Chain A
């Protein structure tokens, strides 16, 4: 059984934002309302973090999707209707039809990766032409978040089944990974393509002390 995860090499990331835009386009994320910028939904964000005091200042710019916690994901623990859970491959899906919009998961997620649809997303013409038919458009009152482009895994499996073969290594790719011009984002099976990434001397995860074992693993900048 695969255990899907992501490795983000911060030494290569240029914070260009291609991953953010590709993710939003791929997953039919709401366009946003300029009059309510506080309600903006982005499944993948570049987290800015400035460190130090002038003039000794540096900045870490880290692409941040749902961290897909491997150990007791807080969002799944508090969901009263099992709309979010850890599946057997370690992914944390969100079942929109089951979500009652209580927003417990928003409060529970320490990574602020869960987003609530305060209103029904609108895709005025010609934006509606860009909707991805493989992904549902969420309604008002439900939560949403990154699911590692799970629909792409289904397409890979269907294609492989039709061709009478097993899915190939590296065949399941996320939109953010595909769009990254510096190849800073790698996605795959933590026991396959990404084997050993946790043991990399530069590897770390966000809020490690919480012990949630996120499956998004960052490789910190090299020093030279």
Chain B
């Protein structure tokens, strides 16, 4: 919190002097939000040299399941090859709304619907999400039952073709338990058993399971299903990313990112880079508590968001349209790419490009990287990626290298089996009878787009409410609670309560409640501040949460 409670403009030189002064001899913790690949490498490089922790402050919904990929496949750089997929099971992932690259997801869907090949897409989730609505079929499965559903599908696959068990003996052994048979599981989960067998057939004939990184249990179960289905390393399955070589100076040392704020530091200096933990941190990450005990908070952000408003020092960075862009990565089919371009418009305010801001932060922390300024950084990176022309004129190019052949451990599914087993023993609904199905509308980009008015009109895809938080319930559930459609309600969990407006829909399980993430902002101007509520106030982590709904009148 700024000492005066108000922000005062200061010059750039003074700002970095203050930062150098405050960080001298202090522990530093970085919070890394939605940064470009190069900027992330820069930040992690600075952190490694300064021996500072980096906390990943991105929302887990829609993120790649990197933990499962690292544990099972040795690296987080794998892609779901959706454009070439023939059968897709979306396991709790609303990938048409939240995905690491939303535009690629939409295009991949277009490719799936192209020509005679026509992929089959099925979605297992508690609510009829956009992905479920656009799928060939929707299997209503409560979020906390999704690992069980995956085990049942694996059970059917092993029964159909016992040889597939060799791909992951540990996971196949767990899935082989009688309780995961289609009939028993179907009865427990409230879905028809033949759908489990049908899904197993689809996956067995060359399908892929799409999961996100929101829930460890679902993530592990989905990736293990991919293993059993033989999808790893297969075109149309999960393919290794062929990333371009890193420009010199952006490689090691790199600090590893953690999901939790380090709890041992007494009063660290916290430097937030495109991170807004005040609004978007999950309670279980300890980020908000970490901020509260910080000796000094710095926010690098293009906008005065909730965290920037409470920071001691705000370093305003340019928006992507105001700055040069140079990024690289890998498309969904595993091919590397480089994308670059000049600034589209001049900066509206006195802001710095991201690389410039990060290099100066590094210098304030006594960390010297090989580039004197952003211009030198862009020139060196563009040269390493042979993208000098792209940087001048703007554009995109694919790289022609093949993905490295995967080398997997002896039983890559052993970690998954253990993780899924522990997910099965998680507590179910108690005093809070409804499974909470949080979803992340594409329009709000996890809440960071809520200040853009045109986006509000498209955030509620399954309804027409706008600028208010809506809780979705099945009509039978609402009838039992004696609450009419459109009524204001309280949604309570063991962690907190928020207000919402009730919408009834057939496309949700009667034992679940759906809430969209992105509203409930406290900052970001008239179109965002104090509009709706924030479902993150209800949940401890991205793992299944349970709520109850009651009338607010």
Binding site for B on A (CB under 8 A): 11-18, 20-21, 24-25, 29, 31-32, 34, 37, 40, 42, 45-46, 48, 50, 52-55, 57-61, 124, 126-127, 181-184, 222, 224
Contact = CB atoms under 8 A, between A and B. Distances in A.
A41 to B, nearest CB: 9
A53 B504 CA distance: 12
B464 to A, nearest CB: 7
Contacts of A18: 106
A50 B507 contact: yes
A11 B462 contact: no
Given A57-B138, A61-B130, A14 B96 contact: yes
B120 interface: yes
A31 B454 contact: yes
A224 B138 contact: no
B542 interface: no
B463 interface: yes
Tell me if B's interface is mostly helix, strand, loop or mixed.
loop
A52 B506 contact: yes
B106 A17 contact: no
Given A20-B454, A42-B457, A184 B110 contact: yes
Contacts of B63: none
15 contacts: A12-B110, A14-B105, A15-B133, A15-B461, A16-B442, A17-B443, A17-B455, A21-B455, A21-B458, A31-B454, A48-B462, A50-B506, A54-B140, A54-B510, A224-B118
B442 A11 contact: no
B107 A46 contact: no
Given A31-B454, A50-B462, A54-B474, A14 B106 contact: yes
Contacts of B456: 32, 34
Given A24-B454, A40-B466, A182 B138 contact: no
Nearest to B104: A181
A55 B127 CA distance: 10
Contacts of B113: 11-12, 182, 222
Nearest to B105: A14
B458 A46 contact: yes
Contact of B140 (A14, A16, A55): A55
Contact of B128 (A11, A37, A57): A57
Contacts of A32: 453, 456-457, 466, 527
Tell me if A's interface is mostly helix, strand, loop or mixed.
loop
A51 to B, nearest CB: 8
Interface centre among B128, B134, B464, B510 (most CB of A within 10 A): B134
A21 B454 contact: yes
A213 B120 CA distance: 33
Contacts of A50: 128, 462, 505-507
A37 B109 contact: no
Interface in B308-357: 348
Contact of B106 (A16, A21, A222): A16
Contacts of B106: 14, 16, 18, 181-182
Contacts of A184: 110
Contacts of B118: 222, 224
B463 A182 contact: no
A17 B461 CA distance: 8
Interface of B: 96, 102-103, 105-107, 109-110, 113, 118, 120, 128, 130, 133-134, 136, 138, 140, 190-191, 348, 442-443, 453-458, 461-468, 474, 505-510, 526-527, 531
A48 to B, nearest CB: 5
Given A52-B506, A224-B120, A182 B110 contact: yes
Contacts of A17: 442-443, 455, 457-458, 461
B467 A16 contact: no
A206 to B, nearest CB: 16
Given A34-B531, A54-B506, A57-B507, 9 more contacts: A13-B134, A17-B457, A40-B466, A48-B463, A54-B510, A57-B128, A57-B138, A58-B133, A58-B138
A13 B457 CA distance: 17
B506 A53 contact: yes
A59 B463 CA distance: 11
A124 B140 CA distance: 44
A61 B134 contact: yes
Given A57-B507, A59-B507, A16 B96 contact: yes
Contacts of B455: 17, 21
A15 B507 CA distance: 16
B474 A37 contact: no
A16 B102 contact: yes
A46 B457 CA distance: 9
Contacts of A34: 453, 456, 467, 526-527, 531
B302 to A, nearest CB: 12
B128 A181 contact: no
A181 B114 CA distance: 13
Contacts of A126: 348
A57 B457 contact: no
Contact of A54 (B136, B453, B507): B507
Given A182-B106, A224-B136, A59 B453 contact: no
Nearest to A16: B106
Contacts of A14: 96, 105-106, 109-110, 130, 134
A224 B463 CA distance: 27
B451 to A, nearest CB: 11
Contacts of B510: 54
Contacts of A37: 465-468
Given A12-B113, A57-B138, A40 B461 contact: no
